[in-house]
Structure 1
């Protein structure tokens, strides 16, 4: 009998105020990482889970968790390790993903077979291997921001930095028929973003590339962007402030997301230093999306 293929995971719980900090220190130890709060209980600890197709460096993970706990002044949480049989996550996603309506946008999976609501712009997104089905609060905040910007006028050249499944770039392409550069550090995300652009019949407007931040010269060669979307994490957003503004058109705007509400000033201060100001904030639960320009 063939032995089942196993994948490996670890998990632990930590105060939500420190969840992102712990998560950022563990990406190098696994193939995928998630951190989330328990539904309906905002006071409960957040769960952090890591997944890998290969054996995990248990000692390294425990040590990294201990170092982070010491840095933020809390007791080191107990890390548990386990194995699981891989699932068809795409099929699981399709069964659970309900359509989402944000502003002019109506995000749905390929299983949706009903008519689009009146006056809505459809975005068909099956996340596949890439993060970003549109269900996460930060994605909702970004779509609301794009909708708000679209009501103020046209945009012609967009950048979706850290594109994931490409939902934000596609929203820009459909809102203005603008050209869109999509970039992500994860090659799987780039493949999924390209496929989603094809499904949504906007491949002619979209270029999706593999790039660590702004390192790929094609991002700069595409010209100055009059709208940039970056739904990443607080620390990377701060780190890329100079590179981002160096590619921004004179009248351009930037949508920053992936940050908890208490991280707003931490991120905003970096963009004020490079000459941008807060235009509007969009809050969805305890997550904040910032529009600056």
Structure 2
């Protein structure tokens, strides 16, 4: 998955997006504008030539100054002049500002990425790391999701919004039998859907093989069976719906996609073909400024906007396919 403002590329940990090398990792920080952060959310060609690929995160440090954002770029080795120049090109508004380069020792990563993450409450769900495994409140559904290699620990507003929307659907009495979670990251949303509708068949996919490895690990930790049967979660590595199992199991009555606005728009016809009339799509990973363009793409495919949950700048959309 690509980076979006407030979210590190390839992870769900605000501030520490990848496991560091033996000596630790490095962070480069610059101020940026909200407009620059939104552009970075779509594409980062300036960093494409570098290997290993830097990891990018943007954030809004002070809600009272909504146009003043911060750019953080994480790299495994100490950044050289070429990389610093490429990073500076991402934030033209910071011209003349000296990048702040910080070394992150390995022990800091372990401590901060785990113990520093507070549990997330979203509807009936309580998402936590091993450090908070004994804090699941009575009556809530707990998921242990380690801070690690894939996006979707629940600590980003997009994931939290999806969890809240799923819980809201269950509270309204809706039932789903065939569920797909596209761009699953850690598997969290697929696990939540299975918890709400345990008799359903669920499949979780991601374009990144590492995400599916992480999802399998998380399924084992949370005692969630994987497989093709009801009450199980099937796993697949796929770009969009491009997998024989995703196609074979369609049409779905619930499809979840927490990815990015551009791919959501591009995939609208494909997702529409994969959803039953009367079926539901939950879309997230888009900024509020992108919501109308995404919704319009699905209206053209016969959907109507049924609900939305907004957390900060991040809306979660629920669309329903019209019955013809």
Could you tell me the TM-score, scaled by structure 1's length? 0.85
- Judge conservation of contact 2:84–2:99 (CA < 8 Å) in 1: no
User: Who is 1:188 aligned against?
Assistant: 210
- Judge conservation of contact 1:90–1:127 (CA < 8 Å) in 2: no
**SS where residue 285 of structure 2 aligns?**
strand
Q: Distance in 2 between matches of 1:87 and 1:207?
A: 34
Q: How does 1:166-245 map to 2 (within 5 A)?
A: 166-177=187-198, 178-204=200-226, 205-245=232-272
Q: Distance in 1 between matches of 2:55 and 2:244?
A: 27
Q: Distance in 2 between matches of 1:138 and 1:206?
A: 22
Q: Distance in 1 between matches of 2:225 and 2:110?
A: 22
Which structure 1 segments of 5+ residues have no match?
A: none
**SS where residue 297 of structure 2 aligns?**
helix
Q: Over aligned residues, Cα RMSD in angstroms?
A: 2.8
User: Who is 1:16 aligned against?
Assistant: 34
Q: Distance in 2 between matches of 1:270 and 1:121?
A: 34
Change (3 A) 1:58 1:24: farther
Report the CA distance between 1:159 and its aligned residue.
1.2
2:60 to 26, 37, 41: 37
User: Who is 2:69 aligned against?
Assistant: 46
Q: Distance in 2 between matches of 1:153 and 1:87?
A: 46
- Judge conservation of contact 1:127–1:192 (CA < 8 Å) in 2: no
- Between 143-152 and 78-87, report the one with greater CA deviation: 78-87
Q: Distance in 1 between matches of 2:163 and 2:71?
A: 26
- Judge conservation of contact 2:284–2:317 (CA < 8 Å) in 1: yes
User: Who is 2:164 aligned against?
Assistant: 144
Report the CA distance between 1:206 and its aligned residue.
1.2
Q: Distance in 1 between matches of 2:294 and 2:219?
A: 30
Report the CA distance between 1:81 and its aligned residue.
7.7
Report the CA distance between 1:12 and its aligned residue.
3.0
**SS where residue 96 of structure 1 aligns?**
coil
- Between 92-101 and 276-285, report the one with greater CA deviation: 92-101
1:165 to 163, 166, 186: 186
Q: Distance in 2 between matches of 1:267 and 1:280?
A: 14
Could you tell me the TM-score, scaled by structure 2's length? 0.77
1:84 partnered with 2:103: yes
Q: Which has the higher contact order (CA 8 A, sep 6+)?
A: 2
Report the CA distance between 1:209 and its aligned residue.
2.2
User: Who is 2:294 aligned against?
Assistant: 267
- Between 9-18 and 118-127, report the one with greater CA deviation: 9-18
1:126 partnered with 2:153: no
- Judge conservation of contact 2:182–2:255 (CA < 8 Å) in 1: yes
